[in-house]
Structure 1
Amino acid sequence: MRSLVCIGGLVVLCAVSGWWAIEWDGRTAWFLFYSFAYLSLYALAAYGALKRGLARLEAGLSSQAGPIRRCYAGESVHYAALWSEASRLLPGARLHWEEQWVHQGTGVRTVVRGELAPGARLVRLPGLPRGVYVREALTVSASEALGLLHAERRSAGGGQLWVLPRPAAAAGLSGAPVGGRKAASPAANPAVPQVSGTRPYAPGDPLKRIHWRSTARTGELRATETELPAGGRQLVLLDAAGSGGSEGAALWADPLLAAAVEAAAGLARRGLERGQRVRLAVSDAQGSAAEAQGRARLPELLQPLAAVPQGGCDPGAFAALVRRETRRHAEAVALVTARADARLPAAMRGLPRGAAQVVFVHEPGRALPDAVHGWKRQLEAIGCRVTMFAAGAATAAFAPRQGGAGYAVIGE
């Protein structure tokens, strides 16, 4: 409304000065007429450029936030802002936006506000806690350099943001068994790419990758296709019940479950770095699972962990998950739990000795109960290695980062 009033006022002043110039034919009158005419044309062109730029920017933000976008907890969310048209027509234009995200696990609404300075092309939003977020609303506004014109565009938002857990890198998770033996580190036993075939030559491929024999046979340039050798299979199972004392949305506030999720993410990342094919399964109500191989597929593998505990969790579901998954994947198994589940030793009987590791997440600085020590001895008696993992080891290392000046995150 302010922009329309400004444009209307300039048009009226242009008309009045034009009538004055025609009736009195004075230099001052003609000067005012040309000045107001120029300002009116500038205002119309600037307002149209702002509207077109907002439409392009809204489409760009919507496409970058959906249908699914991934980032890590505490990591700044980047948007490549599509502000090219308005910035070309209106140097110095400023952009303001406001997004409302809803956490699907807790229902907490988070309002993110920010500003894009003149000449900038990258928008950084402050990091968000782990979870699945749906954008409910998006408001984008812009103003030109003089601050006289203002355009705004509102939309219903749409799209999802999956905030993945930060993989734990604690020393206690570095020695999980693989096939009954401690696996060599990637630095000590680097994976050597192996030739798996040929493909058409692509611009940018080094000349040493050209397969001359296939090129001579087919008459077109062909390059060798390589892949890392298979490094076995790794099964990572996560107990989504946390410490066992919370249910529903309260599970999101359980620090032991948060640490268990990060520990599972660390085990999965380590398996991918070793060239293994990793299967990650969670004992939530949805039976979430993912399987991947290769470092580049880590975000895809960790996606089920973003929604833990999706749909809640039955305390007895973890033992059932262990029985079901270990029947098909018994080469190397890593189980992450924050409970001394009495059903777990029976569920693991029959596994080869040394093929399984249990990572038990506990509160730091507190003595473990006698029941936990007895449970640990039962697991070790059947050949299972038990690693104690303090909850603070992951959360302290990956504290959420704050955004820079001009950015704000407000939780409702």
Structure 2
Amino acid sequence: MRTALRGLTTRGRSFLAAGVTAALCAFAFGQAALFQVGVLLAALPLAAAGMLVRTRYRVASGRRLSPHRAAAGQEARVHLRLDNVSRVPTGLLLLEDKVPYVLGPRPRFVLDRVEPRGFREVSYRVRSDLRGRYPLGPLQLRLSDPFGMCELTRAFSAADVLTVVPQVQDLPAVRLPGESGGQGDSNTHTLALAGDDDVIPREYRQGDDLRRVHWRSTARYGELMVRREEQPLQARATVLLDTRETAHRGSGPASSFEWAVSCAASVAVDLVQRGYRTRLLTDTGFAVPATGAGGGGTTAAESVGLLLDALAVVEHSDGGTLARAEEVLRLGGEGLLVAVVGELDEEQAERLARLRRRTGGAVVLLLDTGTWAGLRHGLPDGAGERAAARVTRLRESGWTVLPVRAGDSLPALWRTADRTQNTTVPYRDEVGA
């Protein structure tokens, strides 16, 4: 009953106070009729609280997200289901789901009555322009009497998580540096070094080339056996994301850092869909293991999900160099390397140039972060020349350099990375524009 009294609403407390006041005035002035009115006013909220305390509703809830993983700026719908598992109908129910402020206001619903063994379904929409993992729930249920005198709040324990991932753009199909026939730079085969005794044959199937018949196995098993088809090794790729806070400009969704994260997500998804075993690496040395269709028993969709989940929570780092990423690439940096980097000084540009020696192909998207801060005319003297010199150094070391400015289209930039083209991407120095 103490819990019920704490749940009295403003209306219930007002009725109770009015009833007590009327009863006191009746004693003071000797008015029996006024005392009866006071008793009635005070009894109404107390009776409502007693009814709620004695109520034995048994309800269950469920939550479903559609989609479970949403892109930044994309709406997601949350479906709620409330089941009345008791044998009596419910009264007035007020539902409120707890959501972070960044996803919008807290949704509230009113359910008038749920029949025994019945259920009700409601839904609401959430949207966020910021990446991250946002908890949804727990669902709060408020019981109320028909007169609105008392409300009791109960909360379920179950909660879900909505993952808001970076925006992913569709990239055009291009032939990247170091790529050979669409299989990357190492287009070797699993049986290339196998001897005649190491071949695992299989039975002959209609349409097999007779030149692939393995006669020794045919004589052993008494039926035609052919050599197994050579399987190409899956090409590998690494997407390097520069998260150094000192290397980026701007804030919020329009910052150079958010553009770099979205670019890394788009490139990683494109490489996975093209059959690469793709690894995500940051300047801190944090790496998401190489995944891809068929790699480690994962499908392309699962691999994309792992990469996007990691990029959804990536944050600025307080480091100033790319040394840790260089150490990781030294241990296993074969294959294609795509780097998305911010502002580079001379030392970091030299480190990046050395990384090219350990890769089959290398593409760098070099962000002109000054354009994100609106510094077209305010760069220090000689800054444009130094930036152009770093671009030249990277190209001389074998990198395909794609300079990026605020407002550039990623698909258009990616198209210029095609190694079959004979054009050279110029460095655009517009300091004096």
- Where do 1:41-120 residues align within 5 Å? 47-49=55-57, 52-53=58-59, 56-57=60-61, 60=62, 70-85=69-84, 89-90=89-90, 93-100=93-100, 112-116=105-109, 119-120=120-121
- Where do 1:367-406 residues align within 5 Å? 369-392=384-407
Alignment match, 1:356: 362
User: Alpha-carbon deviation of 1:166?
Assistant: 1.6
Distance 1:121 1:230 in 2: 50
Distance 1:86 1:76 in 2: 32
Kindly, what percent of the aligned residue pairs are identical? 19
Give the 3 Å change call, closer, same or farther, for CA 168–251 of structure 1 in structure 2: same
Contact 1:233 1:329 (C-alpha < 8 Å) held by counterparts: no
Give the 3 Å change call, closer, same or farther, for CA 244–322 of structure 1 in structure 2: same
- Where do 1:52-201 residues align within 5 Å? 52-53=58-59, 56-57=60-61, 60=62, 70-85=69-84, 89-90=89-90, 93-100=93-100, 112-116=105-109, 119-127=120-128, 129-133=130-134, 138=138, 140-142=140-142, 148=148, 150-154=151-155, 161-169=162-170, 175=174, 177=176, 179-180=178-179, 183=182
Q: Which runs of 5+ in 1 are unaligned?
A: 10-35, 102-108, 185-227, 396-412
Distance 2:145 2:404 in 1: 55
Alignment match, 2:300: 295
- After superposition, what is the alpha-carbon deviation per residue over 1:344-395, rounded to whole angstroms, capped at 9, x for unaligned? 3443242457x11001223368488222221111111122111233444589
2:349 to 332, 342, 364: 342
Give the 3 Å change call, closer, same or farther, for CA 154–182 of structure 1 in structure 2: same
Runs (4+) off by over 6 Å? 155-159, 250-254
Alignment match, 2:241: 238
Distance 2:181 2:110 in 1: 53
User: Alpha-carbon deviation of 1:156?
Assistant: 8.5
User: Alpha-carbon deviation of 1:326?
Assistant: 5.4
Give the 3 Å change call, closer, same or farther, for CA 389–48 of structure 1 in structure 2: farther
Alignment match, 2:318: 313
> Secondary structure of the residue that 2:167 maps to in structure 1?
coil
Contact 1:281 1:289 (C-alpha < 8 Å) held by counterparts: yes
- Specify the code of the residue in structure 1 equivalent to 2:288: A
Number of residues of Structure 1 aligned to a counterpart in Structure 2: 296
Alignment match, 2:41: none
- Scaled by the length of structure 2, the TM-score of the pair is 0.54
Give the 3 Å change call, closer, same or farther, for CA 121–269 of structure 1 in structure 2: same
User: Alpha-carbon deviation of 1:265?
Assistant: 0.3
Distance 1:70 1:175 in 2: 28
Distance 1:344 1:252 in 2: 29
User: Alpha-carbon deviation of 1:125?
Assistant: 2.3
> Secondary structure of the residue that 2:387 maps to in structure 1?
helix
Q: Which has the higher contact order (CA 8 A, sep 6+)?
A: 1
1:322 to 308, 320, 326: 326
Contact 1:326 1:333 (C-alpha < 8 Å) held by counterparts: no
Distance 1:349 1:100 in 2: 44
Contact 1:131 1:162 (C-alpha < 8 Å) held by counterparts: yes
- After superposition, what is the alpha-carbon deviation per residue over 1:93-139, rounded to whole angstroms, capped at 9, x for unaligned? 552233347xxxxxxx887411246553434323251134467x856
Q: Which runs of 5+ in 2 are unaligned?
A: 1-6, 16-43, 112-119, 184-230, 293-298, 378-382, 411-433
